[in-house]
Amino acid sequence: MTHYWQTSAIFNFQSLLTVILLLICTCAYIRALAPSLLDKNKTGLLGIFWKCARIGERKSPWVACCCVIMAFSILFLQ
């Protein structure tokens, strides 16, 4: 029996994947609404958000499929 309140997303692989998927989807959504927020920071530490937005835009069918699979897994398999 796993206690979810004791583990963080770093040590739980499924939680880590969920956080990454949410980051990609959120960054792509923010870039669709206000592109200037992410486009001015293409390098450095904040460039991670720009790269996540690009992944979300270019691989959107794959990201959407992963989101559906993750949602099914969280809702019905846990």
The pLDDT of residue 56 is above 70: yes
54 lies in a domain?
yes
The distance of Cα 3 from the centroid of its chain, to the nearest Å, equals: 23
Residues 53 and 22: their CA atoms lie apart, in Å, by: 11
The domain in which residue 58 lies consists of 46-77
53 lies in a domain?
yes
The pLDDT of residue 5 is above 60: no
The pLDDT of residue 46 is above 80: yes
Residues 11 and 32: their CA atoms lie apart, in Å, by: 32
Dump pLDDT digits (tens) for 8-39: 656 777 888 888 899 999 999 999 998 888 88
Q: How confident is the model at residue 1 (pLDDT cuts 50, 70, 90)?
A: low
Q: How many domains does the chain have?
A: 1
